[in-house]
């Protein structure tokens, strides 16, 4: 065999080894992505909630109350600057307008956190997609059609739970992992492939690995993953409680200031209007975790 024949053969074998290594790295990357988004994130959020849930709920509840009150004051001031008189009819009209403006948000929060409603991540616009995703995943993961390992068993259990709860986001995540792994393993290398075709396969896998690695780094650079060490640090936990309490105190100060502004605007009508506002602000005590960490 001539040197000219040996060199291409060695190059081919190296390409094959490189491609298999890239595929393995991609498989690990996809499995890690699923673990951190569907397992790790849930664990960290639950840990954060165990320390700060009550304060976070108070902050979000008071923030909405402040936003509504500021909107009322803003509309009253517009009327005053225009030289209009604030009659009972005008006051009630403005309050009705603000109530209507915030009704959708209040209703949404009430629905999400109703004691009789189990919270699921579902969107009616994608409801028809759920059985389609489930069928694809079932064909790939069902024990009757798949060699069962600890990893595939976890994926199958996650698929079953997501379908039961109509959780479109989990099903989509599972689909991306399964199909992504199939893409990694697609076109099993043929020893007859040209060197050029092997080079193209290698380049494609390298680009995909760069993309998936960047995606992982981006996720890990966001909350709650950036808080993982702090959530095991008692000093930081105590400090963060103080930070949240300070935020609550600041909101309380803004609420008091705006109540005074409100009272100075409506004068003797303040008491009756205040009672009306309490009745129209439909906000549940259970306003909580989906409003922090970017809708969780």
Structural domains counted in the chain: 1
Confidence of residue 131 (pLDDT cuts 50, 70, 90): confident
How are the residues of the chain apportioned to helix, strand and coil, as percentages rounded to the nearest 5? 80, 0, 20
Return the residue matching tokens 């909350």: 223
**223 in any annotated domain:** yes
User: What is each CA distance from 49 to 110, 199, 242, in whole angstroms?
Assistant: 20, 49, 16
**281 in any annotated domain:** yes
Nearest to 283 by CA among 156, 155, 122, 103: 103
Return the residue matching tokens 């979000």: 60
Residue 130 pLDDT greater than 90, yes or no:
no
Residues of the domain holding 186: 3-291
**37 in any annotated domain:** yes
Residue 284 pLDDT greater than 90, yes or no:
no
**157 in any annotated domain:** yes
pTM: 0.66
**296 in any annotated domain:** no
| Euclidean distance between CA atoms 185 and 180, whole angstroms | 9
Residue 75 pLDDT greater than 70, yes or no:
yes
**What's the confidence (pLDDT) of residue 161?**
81
Percent of the chain with pLDDT over 70: 74
| Interval 198-257: pLDDT, tens | 888 889 889 988 988 998 999 999 999 999 999 999 999 999 999 999 999 999 999 999
């Amino acid at each position: 065999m001539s040197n000219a024949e040996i060199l291409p053969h060695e190059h081919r074998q190296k390409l094959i080894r490189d491609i298999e290594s890239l595929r393995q790295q991609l498989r690990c990357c996809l499995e890690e992505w699923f673990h951190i988004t569907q397992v790790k994130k849930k664990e960290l959020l639950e840990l954060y909630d165990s320390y700060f849930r009550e304060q976070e709920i108070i902050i979000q509840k008071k923030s909405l109350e402040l936003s509504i009150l500021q909107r009322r004051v803003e509309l009253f001031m517009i009327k005053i600057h225009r030289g209009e008189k604030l009659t009972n009819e005008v006051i009630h009209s403005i309050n009705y307008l603000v109530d209507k403006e915030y009704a959708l948000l209040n209703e949404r929060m009430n629905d999400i956190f109703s004691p009789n409603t189990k919270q699921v991540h579902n969107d009616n616009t994608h409801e028809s997609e759920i059985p389609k995703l489930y069928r694809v995943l079932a064909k790939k993961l069902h024990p009757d059609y798949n060699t069962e390992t600890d990893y595939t068993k976890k994926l199958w259990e996650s698929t079953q739970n997501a379908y039961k709860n109509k959780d479109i986001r989990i099903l989509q995540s599972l689909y991306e992992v399964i199909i992504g792994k199939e893409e990694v393993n697609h076109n099993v290398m043929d020893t007859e492939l040209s060197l050029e075709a092997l080079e193209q396969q290698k380049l494609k896998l390298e680009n995909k690995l760069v993309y998936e690695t960047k995606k992982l780094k981006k996720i890990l650079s966001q909350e709650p993953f950036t808080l993982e060490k702090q959530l095991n640090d008692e000093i930081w936990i105590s400090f963060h409680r103080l930070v949240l309490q300070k935020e609550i105190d600041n909101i309380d100060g803004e609420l008091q200031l705006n109540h005074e502004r409100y009272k100075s605007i409506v004068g003797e009508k303040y008491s009756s209007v205040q009672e009306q506002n309490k009745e129209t602000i439909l906000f549940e005590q259970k306003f909580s975790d989906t409003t922090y960490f970017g809708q969780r």
